[in-house]
Amino acid sequence: MVYHNAALLMYRNALALFCAAGIAVSPAAISKEAPLPKPPLTMILSDNSTGTFAGTGLWRYLRAGINYLEASGKEVPIHYRHPGGKAYGPLALTPIAIKDVRLHYPLLSAYKLNDVLSDRGLYEKFAAAYAELLLKHYFKIDYISMPKEKVFEALQKGWFLGPTLYKKGRQVIASRQRRAAEYIDSPTVII
């Protein structure tokens, strides 16, 4: 918010200078807001308000499971496009998921798809924020008090289906459900 206010103030001051100098400025240009500046990545990565379980054992477990389902446990590059053409990287993060995180987390709102797909730390931050968004905001799950296996089961379904289809009770495909059960049941699969 601070960055946005400073940028808006600078933008308005620049417009005032142009107008004072007698340079014509269109009414459309005056009504546009200045684009949000990007906060430093170090600030974003250390801010705890964009993913309370990022960096915890629960997130490591959930991340490893999602990676197991989406990329067979391989750490593919974050710009890798999955065969369906709609998801990227080791966690199959979608442009819709990135957009959703940008809408709900103000500190992440200045980053675009290309920013996320070109920086591993930012990609991981968006993934953790999306997982938290699914669990807390959309599914209203108190994941702190639940067994990690139950949290994973809900998250992997929501990650694959999206919040709307998940809430409507749509089932994931059988092969994915088998692989999810395999991850939950097998201690050797855990990365």
Token digits of residue 91: 């966690």
Residue 44: per-residue pLDDT: 43
Residue 53: per-residue pLDDT: 60
Query: Predicted confidence band at 55 (pLDDT cuts at 50, 70, 90)?
Result: low
Burial (CB count <10 Å: 0-12, 13-18, 19+), residue 142: exposed
Give, in degrees to the nearest 5, the angle at Cα 76 between 71 and 82.
60
Residue 78: per-residue pLDDT: 92
Query: Predicted confidence band at 166 (pLDDT cuts at 50, 70, 90)?
Result: confident
Q: How far apart are the first and last CA of the chain?
A: 38
> For the whole model, what pTM was predicted?
0.71
Contact 71, 90 (CB under 8 A): yes
Residue 46: per-residue pLDDT: 39
Query: Predicted confidence band at 98 (pLDDT cuts at 50, 70, 90)?
Result: very high
Among candidate residues 153, 151, 159, the one with its CA nearest the CA of residue 179: 153
Residue 126: per-residue pLDDT: 94
Question: Which pLDDT tens digit goes with each residue over 9-39?
Answer: 454 554 444 444 443 444 444 344 445 555 5
Give, in degrees to the nearest 5, the angle at Cα 175 between 174 and 179.
115
Residue 84: per-residue pLDDT: 84
| Spatial CB neighbours of 77, under 8 Å, sequence gap ≥ 6 | 89
Question: Which pLDDT tens digit goes with each residue over 119-154?
Answer: 999 999 999 999 999 999 899 988 888 899 999 999
HSE value, Cβ hemisphere, 13 Å, CA-based, for 134: 27
| Spatial CB neighbours of 132, under 8 Å, sequence gap ≥ 6 | 51, 52, 53, 54
Q: Is the model more confident about 86 or about 188?
A: 86
Residue 13: per-residue pLDDT: 52
Among candidate residues 5, 62, 38, 47, the one with its CA nearest the CA of residue 114: 38
